[in-house]
Amino acid sequence: MLSDEELLRYSRQILMPRFDIAGQEKLKAAHVLVIGAGGLGCPVALYLGAAGIGHLTLVDDDQIELANLQRQIAFEQSWLGNSKAERLAERVRAINPEITVNAVNRRVDGDDLRQLVSESTLVLDCTDNFNTRFALNRASVSSKVPLVSGAAIRGEGQLSVYDPRHPESPCYHCLYPEQGNEDLTCSEAGVIAPLVGMIGSAQAMEAVKVISGLGKPLVGRLLILDAWQMEWREMKLAKDPGCPVCAG
């Protein structure tokens, strides 16, 4: 049930006939887990919080550094050395005090990660390393919780949705094998600032689509962005029948 204040706050979304009050109530009932509170996590959390996701859990064990401020738009220079997760949660609460926002200022893996994923409606991968991505994918598949995955480096971005509730949906491991992939971080390769906003905003949109049940989420499709040419390409993704994570 939405309060009068919530009806006003979310009125621009509720005005859309397909979305309506029912769509807003689905957002309010959702618990979304965001792993990573950096370049992608900032726009993801800000947009999902503003849109009315009822419960957000933001996970990051890192602290704010000067080099982050070029693209991690939720943070201020006076916050250098502070927890990313806690400061991002504070920013989201300032935008929308109607929702619950939890900050987890530690690295999560193993049973800890699986527990957090299993308690969520949907999880967003806003990380920058393959080990975490593979672990998050395994937890998503085992818990049957949809995963919205984004990546951004240099001037290139990628976006897809992996939904283990649907038997035809591939998982992250179907696209990227664990062997032969090496991390290439922004600190090594660089990244142009607006790119993370573009990919993060698209991740937030995919999350809204999955939760509300509206539109066509990027399940079985990978979007690739060349920001310098402003060209989007789409690749079809098929489930790997021999995938050790999701097959069978």
- Per-residue pLDDT of 156-204, as tens digits, reads 999 999 999 999 999 999 998 876 555 566 667 789 999 999 999 999 9
The whole-number pLDDT of residue 190 equals 87
CATH code 3.40.50.920 for 4-236: no
Contact 244, 177 (CB under 8 A): no
The whole-number pLDDT of residue 189 equals 78
The whole-number pLDDT of residue 182 equals 59
The whole-number pLDDT of residue 41 equals 98
Q: Rounded distance, CA 134 to CA 147, Å?
A: 12
- Per-residue pLDDT of 9-30, as tens digits, reads 999 999 999 999 999 999 999 9
pTM for the structure as a whole:
0.96
Mean pLDDT computed over 46-75: 98
Domains in the chain: boundaries? 4-236
Q: Within a 10 A sphere around the Cβ of 5, how many other Cβ atoms?
A: 9
Q: Rounded distance, CA 31 to CA 214, Å?
A: 18
The whole-number pLDDT of residue 222 equals 98
The whole-number pLDDT of residue 58 equals 98
